[in-house]
């Protein structure tokens, strides 16, 4: 059991008001809030040991290097990667996907096939489309159904000996659907294809075990996990990371440089050109520690309660439709009210202190499927409460009255 009152004390932002009303923060799928311990870690870095890593012999540089490398180990342990060097610290999910997409340019040929799911965030669509344009590879799509789940029968039919890569999110940001990634990975491997799993929305709720999943690549962002923005990770199996060429050239990613020939550093540095987000990486480590201290089993169970309660209460409102009704979903409720534009709903809720996201959630193909411009998305975290859901429900009712 979580002590929610105590947990809320850890998040200073939850004490603020918006338009004179207590903040109700239900935009957790876009970015999570930051506990004091992570804020303290950031302040400590800039107050006490701010310096560049890996190159320095001086004390500050060594302290920063040690802490940064400790953060890498924390990520490794958290997702159960076999080797620390299989963790590349990046600027986030988008950056991680682009590293892999760029790397595959030299491995693909015209006519090779890539498979994407219909439920993806734009960041797991556009880099692959760019890759297809460059290589002549063909992008195929696993369709979705009305409840917002993937059509797995079609997926199995799409796979063949030309399939080189499959990419899919673990959890959909727009609908909350938890995808059957175990089945997706196993089937892809049978035809020799590699699989990249976008864990941006899964990692705040689920502790992934990349070895058990047998994922070739798994990516996520710290800012959805109580960490800072601009940092995340790319997990890749050693064999794949060794096969892929570096993404960017520069300092840190080399072994030797001369005008005749440059040789690259080993993993993970081959993919980490330039000065990284040192403070962000260290704070990411602190955020993982914090979330693990709360416990992912507790988090998942409590958020499930919030999801059930929120779904039941919102569905009592006449004319309200929820998109994404899969039995396996995380605490995301995407909805619309007949005749109400999601932006108008979002603007009124903001005046009541309630932060929700409105629009296509960087997943336009999903909105096209449902033939809607967007949705209102309320996404819950373990620091939210049922009382806050009551405030949302009352706010939605009020907005409906004003707008219809």
Quote the least distance from Cβ 316 to ligand PMP, whole Å.
28
Among 26, 71, 92, 366, binds ligand PMP (CB under 6 A): 92
Give the residue with the Cβ less far from ligand PMP, 92 or 103.
Answer: 92
Tokens of 310: 């929120």
Counting contacts by CB under 6 A, is residue 112 touching ligand PMP?
no
Counting contacts by CB under 6 A, is residue 121 touching ligand PMP?
yes
Active site residue 226: no
Quote the least distance from Cβ 219 to ligand PMP, whole Å.
8
Window contacting ligand PMP (CB under 6 A); options: 132-140, 193-201, 329-337, 347-355: 193-201
Counting contacts by CB under 6 A, is residue 377 touching ligand PMP?
no
Among 201, 277, 336, 384, binds ligand PMP (CB under 6 A): 201
Quote the least distance from Cβ 91 to ligand PMP, whole Å.
7
Quote the least distance from Cβ 20 to ligand PMP, whole Å.
29
Window contacting ligand PMP (CB under 6 A); options: 8-16, 44-52, 198-206, 389-397: 198-206
Counting contacts by CB under 6 A, is residue 93 touching ligand PMP?
yes
What are φ and ψ of residue 347, in 5° steps?
A: -70, -40
Catalytic residue among 132, 168, 226, 362: 362
Among 34, 65, 173, 334, binds ligand PMP (CB under 6 A): 173
Give the residue with the Cβ less far from ligand PMP, 33 or 169.
Answer: 169
Window contacting ligand PMP (CB under 6 A); options: 119-127, 144-152, 250-258, 347-355: 119-127
> CA 282 → CA 47, 68, 84, 109, distances in Å?
14, 5, 15, 39
- The contact set with ligand PMP (CB under 6 A) reads 30, 92-94, 121, 123-124, 169, 173, 198, 200-201, 221, 223, 362
Residues annotated as catalytic are 362
């Amino acid at each position: 059991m979580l002590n929610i009152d105590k947990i809320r004390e850890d998040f200073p932002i939850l004490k603020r008001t918006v338009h004179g009303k207590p903040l109700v923060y239900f935009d957790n799928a876009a970015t999570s809030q930051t506990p004091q311990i992570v804020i303290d870690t950031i302040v400590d870095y800039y107050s006490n040991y701010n310096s560049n890593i890996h190159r320095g012999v001086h004390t500050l540089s060594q302290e920063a290097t040690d802490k940064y490398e400790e953060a890498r180990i924390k990520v490794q342990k958290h997702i159960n990667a076999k080797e620390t060097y299989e963790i590349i610290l990046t600027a986030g999910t988008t950056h991680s996907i682009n590293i892999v997409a760029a790397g595959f340019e030299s491995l693909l040929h015209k006519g090779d096939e890539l498979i994407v799911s219909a439920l993806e965030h734009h960041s797991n669509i556009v880099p692959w489309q760019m890759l297809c344009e460059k290589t002549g590879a063909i992008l195929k799509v696993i369709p979705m159904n009305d409840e917002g789940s993937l059509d797995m029968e079609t997926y199995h039919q799409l796979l063949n000996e030309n399939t080189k890569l499959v990419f899919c999110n673990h959890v959909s940001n727009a609908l909350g659907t938890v995808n059957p990634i175990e089945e997706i990975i196993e089937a892809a491997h049978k035809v020799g294809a590699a699989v990249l799993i976008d864990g941006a929305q899964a990692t705040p709720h689920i502790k992934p075990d990349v070895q058990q999943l047998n994922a070739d690549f798994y990516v996520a962002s710290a800012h959805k996990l109580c960490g800072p923005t601009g940092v995340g990770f790319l997990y890749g199996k050693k064999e794949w990371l060794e096969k892929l060429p570096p993404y960017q050239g520069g300092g840190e990613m080399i072994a030797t440089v001369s005008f005749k020939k440059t040789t690259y550093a080993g993993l993970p540095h081959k993919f980490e050109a330039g000065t990284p987000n040192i403070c962000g990486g260290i704070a990411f480590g602190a955020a993982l520690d914090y979330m693990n201290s709360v416990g992912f089993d507790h988090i998942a169970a409590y958020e499930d309660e919030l999801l059930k309660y929120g779904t039941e209460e919102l569905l009592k409102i006449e004319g309200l439709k929820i998109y994404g009704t899969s039995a396996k979903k995380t605490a995301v409720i995407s909805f619309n009210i007949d005749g109400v534009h999601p932006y108008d709903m979002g603007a009124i809720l903001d005046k009541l202190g309630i932060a929700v996201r409105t629009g296509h959630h960087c997943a336009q193909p999903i909105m096209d499927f449902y033939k809607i411009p967007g949705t209102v998305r309320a996404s819950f975290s373990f620091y939210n409460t049922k009382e806050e859901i009551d405030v949302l429900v009352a706010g939605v009712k009020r907005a409906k009255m004003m707008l219809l």
